[in-house]
Amino acid sequence: MDYHSPASFAEASALAQNATGITRFLAGGTDVLVQLRSELVTPDTLIDIKKINGVHDITRNSDGSWTLGVAATGAEMSEHPELGHDWPGVVEAMDLIGSTQVQGRATLTGNLCNGSPAADSVPAMVAAGVTVTVTGPEGARDVAVENIPTGPGKTSLAKGEVISSVNIPARGENGGDAYLRFIPRTEMDIAVVGVGVNLRLDGDIITEARVSLGAVAPTVLLVEEAARAIIGTTLDDAALDALTAAASAACNPIDDKRGTIAFRTEVAGVLAKRTAKIAYARAKGEQA
Amino acid sequence: MSKLHVTTTVNGDEVEYLCDPRETLLDCLRDKLNLTGAKEGCGTGDCGACSVTVDGRLVCSCLMLGVEAEGKQIETVEGIADGYVLHPLQKKFIEYAALQCGVCTPGILVAAKSLLEKNPDPTEEEARYWLAGNLCRCTGYDKIIRAVMDTAAELREAS
């Protein structure tokens, strides 16, 4: 295995483009090293992106949007004094992943590129409308988070492409987001169902919404039907029932020891309702 | 395959080693630097027995490569005591019998020290969450938590 620590994303991209065999990028390494140690994936080329300037930075831009470096850790996100105020759902989703030790290393970008349908941060990012900047041989482009995973362990990134930043939109007025997941134990487990909701209000009426489901299909889903069920409503009982039905209808889950198809499908509806209530309360400024 | 040269600081001392890029920081600490306090329990970041701090941040040394330590400040359990004078956490762990087989203890000491540096007055719930990545199959955790909470109280009084 060749180890490289390039000084720029252009250099990282070129290294990956010219590499043969299996290439992995190394950020926090909490998935890559587990796969390496268990001999599931032994890369021929390992490209450590942490020596690139700015990869740990969490920056609020002048328009209120956020740019996160690809090696900014869950711990750094949780400790940031402002990020969790704007996007509590995104920060809480990331914070649910693993132990204190894992939080010291794990990153949003790694969680996304690992391609797990159950990745906790991904539904929260999809709901929030997060994009990533992808640097490749042809230059850089921005891609919506929901267009990165293509199946379990698979992404749409081509050879030579590397995610070079995470871009979170400006929070703006009267908005709120939330993420909830179901796991069979109290803490530190993989989501059986995860739901991210992000919405904006005009008075009591929801004017914009995005609803995302995790762990109920081969990829994290952006469920437009579920968003339509609550847009234009005050999140009254009828809207919540419609949301529940739309979330459950979008599910195409696996049956395994942690949750049956029927269980995951029902829980997706219940969690969508609970998550939307939290996001709504946050948009009203009623709940931190 | 050529080995890589790494210069890093462990418990305040500058050290150097040659490592294969596949070797973890835990492998390097134990096999090259003879610092065998950090243990390999699971090797996959689940058990916390290999906990160390890197630039002040608590991590699993099994989830970090040895080459990534270049230029970092590493603290291990071997650096906790001041010579033969035990750290207050170590004394309390003995007083409370907060260990049986001892395999998890180095990692828990490193993690608990990291907690108290960040939060000198944790609630029991905060301490339990912070240490949730350190598995112990002997004690049932109760004595560990009591030892950590009592150390925190003692350190607050002393400061």
pLDDT in tens, A17-31: 999 999 999 999 999
Contacts of B57 in chain A (CB under 8 A): 73, 75, 104
Backbone angles phi, psi at B65, to 5 degrees: -80, 150
User: B109 and B153: one domain?
Assistant: yes
User: B43 and B100: one domain?
Assistant: no
Cα separation values, A209 from A199, A222, A272, Å: 4, 11, 12
Q: Is A222 exposed, middle or buried (0-12, 13-18, 19+ CB in 10 A)?
A: buried
User: B65 and B93: one domain?
Assistant: no
Contact A157, A148 (CB under 8 A): yes
Q: What is the pLDDT of residues A242-260, one digit of tens each?
A: 999 999 999 999 999 999 9
Q: Does A150 touch chain B (CB under 8 A)?
A: no
CA distance B158 to A162: 50
Who contacts A273 (Cβ-Cβ below 8 Å, separation ≥6)?
A240, A243, A244
Q: Please report the DSSP string for B56-97 in residue order.
A: TEEEEGGGSBGGGGTT-EEE-GGGTSBTTB--HHHHHHHHTT
Contact A255, A55 (CB under 8 A): no
Contact B119, B129 (CB under 8 A): no
Q: What is the pLDDT, as a whole number, of residue A104? A: 98
User: B62 and B120: one domain?
Assistant: no
Contact B65, B87 (CB under 8 A): no
pTM reported for the whole predicted model: 0.96
Least trusted range by pLDDT, from A175-189, A264-278, B63-77: A175-189
pLDDT band at A288 (very low <50, low <70, confident <90, very high): low
User: B100 and B67: one domain?
Assistant: no
User: B38 and B57: one domain?
Assistant: yes
The residues with which A259 forms a beta bridge, in sequence order, are: A256
**End-to-end Cα, chain A, rounded Å:** 46
**What range defines the domain where residue B124 resides?**
88-158
How many whole angstroms from its chain centre is CA A167? Answer: 12
Helix axes A121-128, A88-95, angle to 10 degrees: 170
Per DSSP bridges, beta strands A162-168 and A131-136 are: antiparallel
Radius of gyration for the alpha carbons in chain A, expressed in angstroms and rounded: 19
Q: Please report the DSSP string for A16-44 in residue order.
A: HHH--S-EEEESS-TTHHHHHHTTS---S
| Residue contact A34–B4, C-beta within 8 A | no
The closest of A138, A215, A132 to A166, measured between CA atoms, is: A132
pLDDT band at A203 (very low <50, low <70, confident <90, very high): very high
Q: What is the pLDDT, as a whole number, of residue A186? A: 84
Q: Does B74 touch chain A (CB under 8 A)?
A: no
User: What string of pLDDT tens digits covers the 159 residues of chain B?
Assistant: 589 999 999 999 999 999 999 999 999 999 999 999 999 999 999 999 999 999 999 999 999 999 999 999 999 999 999 999 999 999 999 999 999 999 999 999 999 999 999 999 999 999 999 999 999 999 999 999 999 999 999 999 998
Q: What is the pLDDT of residues A37-80, one digit of tens each?
A: 888 999 999 999 999 999 999 999 999 999 999 999 999 999 99
Contacts of A99 in chain B (CB under 8 A): 45, 48, 132-134
| Chain B nearest CA to A23, separation (Å) | 14
Nearest CA in chain B to A100: B130
Instruction: Provide mean pLDDT across the span A261-284.
Output: 98
Q: Which of B79, B104, B135 is the last residue of a domain?
A: B79
Q: What is the pLDDT, as a whole number, of residue B159? A: 82
Helices and strands counted in chain A (H then E): 11, 14
As a residue count, chain B comes to 159
Complete domains list, chain A, with CATH? 2-50+57-168 (3.30.465.10), 191-283 (3.30.390.50)
Nearest CA in chain A to B70: A51
Who contacts A224 (Cβ-Cβ below 8 Å, separation ≥6)?
none
Percentage of chain A modeled with pLDDT above 90: 95
Q: Which of B79, B98, B130 is the last residue of a domain?
A: B79
Contact A87, A193 (CB under 8 A): no
Instruction: Provide mean pLDDT across the span A82-99.
Output: 98
Q: What is the pLDDT, as a whole number, of residue A188? A: 87
Cα separation values, A14 from A3, A10, A48, A229, Å: 14, 6, 13, 45
Specify the CATH number for the domain of residue B70.
3.10.20.30
Residues 87-146 of B with CB under 8 A from A: 111, 114, 129-134
Number of domains forming the structure of chain B: 2
User: B9 and B72: one domain?
Assistant: yes
Contact B18, B29 (CB under 8 A): no
Q: What is the pLDDT of residues A111-152, one digit of tens each?
A: 999 999 999 999 999 999 999 999 999 999 999 999 999 999
| Residue contact B63–A102, C-beta within 8 A | yes
Specify the CATH number for the domain of residue B131.
1.10.150.120
Q: Which of B36, B52, B79 is the last residue of a domain?
A: B79
Which runs of consecutive H residues, i.e. helices, occur in chain A?
9-18, 32-37, 74-79, 83-86, 88-95, 100-103, 108-113, 121-128, 224-230, 237-250, 261-283
User: B42 and B107: one domain?
Assistant: no
pLDDT band at A187 (very low <50, low <70, confident <90, very high): confident
User: B98 and B49: one domain?
Assistant: no
Instruction: Provide mean pLDDT across the span A3-14.
Output: 98
Residues 8-27 of A with CB under 8 A from B: 26
The closest of A217, A200, A224, A210 to A280, measured between CA atoms, is: A200
Per DSSP bridges, beta strands A139-144 and A175-182 are: unpaired
User: B29 and B75: one domain?
Assistant: yes
User: B62 and B122: one domain?
Assistant: no
Instruction: Provide mean pLDDT across the span A236-242.
Output: 98
Q: What is the pLDDT, as a whole number, of residue A65? A: 98
The pLDDT mean for chain A works out to 97
